[in-house]
Amino acid sequence: MSRPAQTFPDISSELDVRPLAVHIGAEIHGVDLTRPLPSQQVADIRAALLRWKVVFFRDQQLDHAQHVAFSRQFGDPTPGHVVFGGDQQFPEIYSVAKFRTANTKLAEDPRRPWSGWHTDITAAVNPPYASILRGVVVPPYGGDTQWTNLAAAYQALSEPMRAFVDGLHGIHRFEVSAGTSATRDYDEHVRNRRLETRHPLVRVHPETGERVLYVSPTFLKSIPDVSAQESVHLLQMLWEHVVRPEFTVRFKWEPGSIAFWDNRSTAHLAPRDIFDAEFDRQFYRVTLLGDVPVGVSGEASTPMAGDRIRAV
């Protein structure tokens, strides 16, 4: 069966876009995010985001208000975190601190190549379409974040495997993962805000037409279309596949750095090495309201527990 062509909007030659890897990631220079952007720059940044999946900016000293204002030029912000809450004064802002409620501690270190990789809030029926993260307190070394291109990962599957996964679904759930020990605050937040959704295993990107392997390792728990044993082995194979280095980019943060990623076509890995050093790390994030994923057959995701994410 033929697949629809992938389409990416043109990027103006005036925007300084510097790719960092073959499949994903580019730095954008020559823009001032502290001020409202001209409409052409907004369009070009969005085009770069669709093409490169995650774009980075350097030396942007934004405060909370400017962070929110920049984000609103690209969509409607959600609450800082639909499970863990946000800033009291700026409800769109979520504090990504070194030690925060959302952290869990690994027990007996059951690490796998895909451990910690995730796409933001896929347990919701309409996950955020994008996330915008800014670094304020940045370690002098360590603390890098990685992203992977889930559309490139899909294309790299064999044709029979693509045809197979096109028709499957996955159950995404927000819960304390096996092999972790959660704090009481974490457990209470998760119990009080249950989120569970049946998503297509392959979603069609609503703007580019790409097919995306929608297999967020942290939130995807099972494939109900196959047996339990088949589900375990298939998920492990797909998770190992999507984090292959050739699909990824690794970003070294500096104070004032900003990462803006397409949550519909990427997964990312927050650093664990910061817990092996004394350095502090304080970042802030805004997420933008997303749509309900649609699979190859046109079937939309189905909520199983919890409400849709709403705009702030």
Residues 25-43: tens digit of each pLDDT: 999 999 999 999 999 999 9
* The predicted structure's pLDDT at residue 84: 76
Catalytic annotation present for 10: no
Residue 130 lies in a domain: yes
Residue 120 lies in a domain: yes
Q: Give the global pTM.
A: 0.92
Domain with residue 168: its CATH number is: 3.60.130.10
Q: In terms of Cα–Cα distance, which of 81, 193, 188 is closest to 133?
A: 81
Q: What percent of the chain has pLDDT over 70?
A: 89
* The predicted structure's pLDDT at residue 6: 72
- Is it the case that residue 175 has pLDDT exceeding 80? no
Q: Which of 118, 194, 198, 250 is catalytic?
A: 118
Mean pLDDT, rounded, for 136-147: 97
55 has which bridge partners?
Answer: 26, 260
Residue 112 lies in a domain: yes
* The predicted structure's pLDDT at residue 131: 98
* The predicted structure's pLDDT at residue 243: 97
Residues of the domain holding 231: 16-305
Mean pLDDT, rounded, for 116-127: 97
- Is it the case that residue 105 has pLDDT exceeding 60? no
Residue 44 lies in a domain: yes
| pLDDT (tens digit per residue) in 47-67 | 999 999 999 999 999 999 999
Catalytic annotation present for 268: yes
In the chain, the number of structural domains is 1
- Is it the case that residue 103 has pLDDT exceeding 80? no
- Is it the case that residue 198 has pLDDT exceeding 50? yes
Average pLDDT, the chain: 91
Q: What percent of the chain has pLDDT over 90?
A: 80
Mean pLDDT, rounded, for 141-159: 97
Q: Which of 23, 189, 205, 268 is catalytic?
A: 268
In degrees to the nearest 10, what's the CA dihedral of 247, 241, 264, 185? -110
Q: Which of 23, 46, 120, 172 is catalytic?
A: 120
Task: Name the least confident of 64-78, 106-120, 268-282.
Answer: 106-120
Q: Which is higher by pLDDT, 86 or 281?
A: 281
* The predicted structure's pLDDT at residue 192: 64
Residue 11 lies in a domain: no
Task: Name the least confident of 28-37, 101-110, 149-158.
Answer: 101-110
Residue 9 lies in a domain: no
Mean pLDDT, rounded, for 229-241: 98
- Is it the case that residue 107 has pLDDT exceeding 80? no
* The predicted structure's pLDDT at residue 176: 57
* The predicted structure's pLDDT at residue 232: 97
- Is it the case that residue 109 has pLDDT exceeding 80? no
Task: Name the least confident of 99-108, 194-203, 288-297.
Answer: 99-108
Q: Which is higher by pLDDT, 104 or 207?
A: 207
Residue 312 lies in a domain: no
* The predicted structure's pLDDT at residue 190: 62
